[in-house]
Structure 1
């Protein structure tokens, strides 16, 4: 029997698609937002993480909470200020929910939170599983703190599921439009050595995983939310150009040029993360998009003139 799902970060890329898919599955959906008066298709409760405020009706409403809140990692350069924002926006939002859930009568059955494969740091071509050692760069630190915060929900007897998301592919935002832009302009090229692994997941598969975590009580703990076949940056760029029917003309974009443009944030595109989907596959979950080509075709086939 579908229930009521409360989503933090609901207006983001994954939040919007997940909301649509939940509605299609017969769920009711509400978002937590700083500005609930903004016109939204969804029921919206007010919260203000910086002020430590949350509408208690939100907690009474929810059967499950999906946590996607957090400042975008790729939206702007990583100044010290921005790095603080990236970290604190994730920790504080979960702490606020934890406090609200600790102090209220509620019927929340589970807490499903995003994390990211950034936790593994730059791990070369080593295949990383959920048990692998963590990296020690900024993003790895953020992901560790994020997961520690989410896991506190477990102590409230809430079934807690944490998804380490790979690069979520969507034409509506995230990395894919950024990578497609130069390819469209016939200026596509691998980044850095091009040998770095990219562990990706189609946005619909990512959302289906969140829905699966709501519906299947056997899911608990940490899972890599990545498709089963990661590719190198060079392969990714080549397949993208192929699907878009564009030539790849440029040699590789050197790492130093990317560092100049992006500063420390270049870690996001230059780090190599080859991440295993085995644990998810063992739950019996089937991906709609196992291979990159299928995923890219789902976005760019319709666009061809």
Structure 2
């Protein structure tokens, strides 16, 4: 396949990355995976055409592989919910996104034949802790750590636009999948009849099915009208209480045992505030404006499909 259809992907071994690489392969792209562990990537992403050793903080031979690629899609980053946020882990969260993106943009700038498209990850944490106000891509950023992380991440990605590369930043919500991610963590307590909302329960949860997450990344890749931030969330965000009630209904279980926020704060500290106790009511305005048709626009059918 020609270089015009070669797509470089970082973060390919994660939940979203694996599903994306499969979709890219189905669409006829030649997938080149950048990974710190190419052997691990080969097992996780068998569809890729090539696996390249990549060090986030170093410019190496991998930079030459960007030359002539059609696009770069960067999903790399340490897990936001991987552990309690001490200062060391905050630095890892930051460097694995900001430093990595800076290095990729530098390599694109130095390429003789630059990629046409750069799609960078981001997150709805950009908007910070919000009330019931619906948020589209033009909403102001928040002021907490996660919001600052996303702002800096997007700023590094936007530098690619300055060198003539069409650039999008995909602000991802809570991605639903049965095997991994937030939903998989919720299933056990509901199966054990001890599930319930995280208090206060009125905080918003902006969710998206994995199929639509990949679909919006593909929209950012293939639709030349898409520039800048784009929200990857379903058009029907839920309060935590309503999400829990719907999950309980689909599973045939009660949602009766609320989880106190202060207990989560004791266990997880700042991470609990950012991810569990507070939320954002995010809407996918740009995706819908550009004609994206959600496979799972509402929660109950999405959960039924995932849990069937």
TM-score (norm 1): 0.95
Instruction: Identify the residue that residue 39 of structure 2 maps to in structure 1.
Output: 37
Instruction: Identify the residue that residue 288 of structure 1 maps to in structure 2.
Output: 295
The answer on 1:188 being equivalent to 2:195 is yes
The 5 Å alignment of 1:1-305 reads 3-38=5-40, 39-40=42-43, 41=46, 42=48, 43-60=50-67, 62-250=69-257, 252-266=258-272, 267-301=274-308
Distance 1:258 1:177, change over 3 A: same
Deviations 1:111-159 (A, max 9, x none): 0111001011110111111111111001001000000011011111000
What secondary structure, in the 3-state scheme, does the structure 2 residue paired with 1:37 have? helix
Does the 8 Å CA contact 1:128/1:274 hold for their aligned counterparts? yes
Distance 1:54 1:228, change over 3 A: farther
> 1: CA distance between counterparts of 2:301 and 2:260?
29
Does the 8 Å CA contact 2:231/2:287 hold for their aligned counterparts? yes
What secondary structure, in the 3-state scheme, does the structure 2 residue paired with 1:7 have? strand
Does the 8 Å CA contact 2:170/2:231 hold for their aligned counterparts? yes
TM-score (norm 2): 0.94
Kindly state the Cα deviation for residue 107 of structure 1 after the two structures are TM-superposed. Answer: 4.2
Moved more, 36-45 or 126-135: 36-45
Kindly state the Cα deviation for residue 54 of structure 1 after the two structures are TM-superposed. Answer: 4.6
Does the 8 Å CA contact 2:114/2:165 hold for their aligned counterparts? no
> 1: CA distance between counterparts of 2:63 and 2:166?
21
Deviations 1:22-79 (A, max 9, x none): 1122222111011223343122111111334351342135211111011110011101
> 2: CA distance between counterparts of 1:22 and 1:100?
22
Moved more, 80-89 or 167-176: 167-176
Moved more, 21-30 or 195-204: 21-30
Does the 8 Å CA contact 1:125/1:272 hold for their aligned counterparts? no
> 2: CA distance between counterparts of 1:60 and 1:172?
36
> 2: CA distance between counterparts of 1:172 and 1:4?
29
What secondary structure, in the 3-state scheme, does the structure 1 residue paired with 2:160 have? helix
Deviations 1:229-269 (A, max 9, x none): 0000011111111111222232x211111111111110211
Moved more, 57-66 or 3-12: 57-66
What 5-or-longer segments of structure 1 have no aligned partner? Answer: none
Does the 8 Å CA contact 2:58/2:103 hold for their aligned counterparts? no
> 2: CA distance between counterparts of 1:76 and 1:30?
30
Runs of 4+ with deviation above 4 angstroms: none
Paired residues, number? 300
